[in-house]
Chains A and B, each alone.
Chain A
Amino acid sequence: MDKKLSSILKRVEKPARYIGGEFNEVEPFEGAFNYCVCFPDVYEVGMSNLGIKIVNEAIMSVAGAYADRCFAPWPDFGKELKEAGVELYALGNKKPLKTFDMLGFSLQYEMSYTNVLYMLDLAGIPLRREDRGDSFPIIQAGGPCACNPEPLADFIDIFIVGDGEESMKQLAELKIACLEKQEFLRRAAAEIPGAYVPALVDVKYGINGEIEGFSPDKRIEKALCRDLASAVYPKRFAVPTIEAVFDRGVLEVMRGCYRGCRFCQAGFLYRPVRERDAEDLVETAKSIMCTSGFDELSLNSLSTGDYSSLRELIPALKDALPNVNMALPSLRLDSFEGDFVQETRKSSITFAPEAGTQRLRDVINKDVSEEEIMRGVRQAFEQGYSTIKLYFMLGLPTETDEDLKGIRDIVFKIRDVYAARPNRLRSLKISVSVSTFIPKPFTPFQWERQASEQEVEAKIALLRKELHLRGVVLSWNDFALSEMEAVFARGDRRTGKVIEAAYRNGCIFDGWTHLFNAEKWYEAFRQTGVDPKAYTREWREDEVLPWDLIDVYVDKKFLLKERHAAYANAVTGSCLTGCKGCGLQKVYCPKKDELAAKKAANCKKEGE
């Protein structure tokens, strides 16, 4: 190890974040194509992310390609690297990021955008793509936030929108075949599904500052992996050198969600639902758990309770892996929670009604009744839980004080249920977390405005009054943070300079509440003359949206219909009750085919 580096490592917090050598990580080699996945958050967070494991697996499946990894240095280490003139390096081969052919940023949340610039800067790579010329690595980005790539369009050479399994493989193959940067970018944009090269697309603005259109006027269709069964999946998980946020194996049981909650971006982005085969999952789980030595296995998806073979999968997993704890992080409270949750030793149980009244839950298409919530709560008490966490959103479209008071009603009902129990060893604790609603691209609420600071303050004041009760703790998030998130979720290309200015002002790790500095952010808006309100306002339905250049196969018409249904308090329900014609039926949707086949069979029966 470099002497300068090893003396820095002796001074910083948790130096094992920066040493690599994780068990199960591939031995570094010099490839025909060298890729480094860059996760713009700290090691412990990044090592828990499944997406980057899939990306590296895809790259490594290409003959001659090598995939390495790098995470954002915590501020203490970043500062030391800079002062000592040591360039940011990859954890595997320890070579400077600069020496790679391509760096791939994983965009999981908007508030990690300054960390993208931070990592480029520490690597000694110019931030803006126009300043890089042909001698630096190609800077690529993907992940859920790439669905609106525009805020980072000035910094990233190429985005991959959608699933990475096949597209990242194609990207590696193309780069091996075509070494010259400009030609590679041109060909990637033309040939690889989901590839977006900002340099090849111009945005036209009208005199009022609104977007008039894109040139060329061609939408970029997301990459869609139709056959997850034969796609790559990590079978050996690298074991983090220090304890990660989730120190466990991860099994993705399905991709996508049937529900269609109107605020939830992931629910639309990852359509159609693709369920994995239960037997395959058991085999994968065996490999992951035996090769890692983890104690816990997490069954991940947006809504694991809807996985159709869950009742077969869980016993089969328990059979195959008797000593492993099973975690079901996203189990909805209306699915059969009671049977399985007791497996894990958790001190509290979480419910996410999202809205306080049935009316507002109908508005957001959150198909859960108060009765179902109470049933879940009752089960939790029966299992010995006495701490309940509740998640709600604040500032949802059509929300009134009545809806906020509904939160209090739910809290009271939970207290009544607990009070009616015969043996209460501990006193009941309820924690209520509210977060400000953020209108996100590709959802029916993408046109909505975000509540203003005054409105949010008034709502929180009301909740504080209503929930000033023993054993009840209310928490809410910083308004400025939600405002920034809204701006960069829906931002256009002009917001990029705000991110750069904020970074120059010293903003990094903005997703970490204690490191987020609202003043420096507002300063960045003033310096660049960008008005955040221009991005948190309501957008007209006929306006061109910054992300209109991306096609995730959900029809805009469908989103509009859903928006109007929301204003009519009308529930659309989940795809499990029938295909709603969101647009995916024209491309690929296994559920729709299954539903159609069932219907045909029924008709036939009736006809006989």
Chain B
Amino acid sequence: MIAFKYSKTEGAEFISHLDTLRHLNKTFKRAGFEVKHSQGFHPHMLVYMSSPIGVGLKSYAEYCTVDVDISAEQFKEEFNRYSPKGIKCIESYAVEKNPNFASVITRAKYVISGLHGVNAEEVMAMQSFTVKDKHGEPKEVREKIYSFTETAEGHEVVLAAGNNALRPDAFVKRLAELYGEMDADIVKTESYVGEGDSVATALSDIG
């Protein structure tokens, strides 16, 4: 089995989760990978993606596992030869079993540029931070913001990801309400497991 980290940039950030899966499948086919299929009436490739990322959000930290017998190096090389623009393998690991990225990934780091006038320290000092849910009701999410700092490139924030995620675009929307309209650009740069451990830790755990 191969677990790999890949990007969604250069326009590919606008491709939906489902279409991304289609592109991964087609890439594997073009590369000639012999991916194992599920049993049953409509067999499909055994491909396991991390949780969906919002359409339009660039990422350098998407994860996926695919059931194929091939070396990690060869996988990365071949994948990148046959994958569409912006969907590129960054790291690959041979693993014994499916790390189940969709449930083990709990946090993600985003670099956000264009947050003019936003004071990260002030935000971190807030007791309460609310975003609107899909019914327009405010929802308390302060505990889902793990860190928020200012860097040379802009701002950096670590938010809850996975099942209990705080969407970075919702976070920015709330900042805009507090600090005034701004045209922010969000890039996901890292995913974490557990209390903020690197994904590599999770992979070494399962050998």
Residues of A within 8 A of B (CB): 1, 3, 6-7, 9-10, 14-16, 18-23, 239, 241-243, 247, 290-294
Cα separation A292 to B31 with both chains bound (whole Å) = 10
Q: Is the CB of A290 within 8 A of B14?
A: no
Q: Is the CB of A3 within 8 A of B183?
A: yes
Q: Is the CB of A21 within 8 A of B10?
A: yes
Q: Is the CB of B19 within 8 A of A16?
A: yes
Closest B residue by C-beta to A19:
B11
Q: Is the CB of B86 within 8 A of A21?
A: yes
Interface centre among B11, B25, B82 (most CB of A within 10 A): B11
Q: Is the CB of A23 within 8 A of B56?
A: no
Chain B positions within 8 Å of A292 at CB level: 26, 30
Interface residue B116 (Cβ < 8 Å from any Cβ of A): no
CB proximity to A under 8 Å, residues B153-184: 183
Q: Which of A1, A241, A290 contacts B19 (CB 8 A)?
A: A241
Nearest 8 A/B pairs, CB to CB? A293-B26, A21-B85, A19-B11, A293-B29, A15-B14, A23-B84, A10-B56, A293-B30
Q: Which of B27, B56, B84 contacts A22 (CB 8 A)?
A: B84
CB proximity to A under 8 Å, residues B1-34: 10-12, 14-16, 19, 22-23, 25-30
Closest B residue by C-beta to A1:
B11
Interface residue B83 (Cβ < 8 Å from any Cβ of A): yes
Chain A positions within 8 Å of B14 at CB level: 9, 15-16, 18-19, 241
Min CB distance B8 to A, Å, is 11
Chain A positions within 8 Å of B29 at CB level: 293
Q: Knowing A16-B14, A21-B11, A23-B83 touch, does A291 contact B183 (C-beta < 8 A)?
A: no
Interface residue B55 (Cβ < 8 Å from any Cβ of A): yes
Cα separation A243 to B16 with both chains bound (whole Å) = 10
Q: Total A-B residue pairs with C-beta atoms closer than 8 Å?
A: 64
Q: Is the CB of A9 within 8 A of B19?
A: no
Q: Is the CB of A293 within 8 A of B86?
A: no
A10-B56, A19-B15, A293-B29 given; 9 more Cβ-contact pairs under 8 Å: A6-B56, A16-B19, A18-B14, A23-B30, A23-B84, A239-B23, A239-B84, A241-B15, A293-B26
Q: Is the CB of B183 within 8 A of A7?
A: yes
Q: Which of B25, B30, B84, B183 contacts A241 (CB 8 A)?
A: B84
Chain A positions within 8 Å of B10 at CB level: 21
CB proximity to A under 8 Å, residues B37-85: 55-56, 82-85
Cα separation A22 to B10 with both chains bound (whole Å) = 12
Q: Is the CB of B25 within 8 A of A293?
A: yes
Chain B positions within 8 Å of A9 at CB level: 14, 56
Min CB distance A11 to B, Å, is 9
Min CB distance B148 to A, Å, is 22
Closest B residue by C-beta to A23:
B84
CB proximity to A under 8 Å, residues B108-150: none
Chain B positions within 8 Å of A18 at CB level: 14
Q: Is the CB of B15 within 8 A of A16?
A: yes
Chain B positions within 8 Å of A239 at CB level: 23, 26, 84
Cα separation A21 to B12 with both chains bound (whole Å) = 8
Cα separation A449 to B91 with both chains bound (whole Å) = 67
CB proximity to A under 8 Å, residues B72-109: 82-86
Chain B positions within 8 Å of A1 at CB level: 11
Q: Is the CB of A15 within 8 A of B84?
A: no
Chain B positions within 8 Å of A23 at CB level: 23, 26-27, 30, 82-85
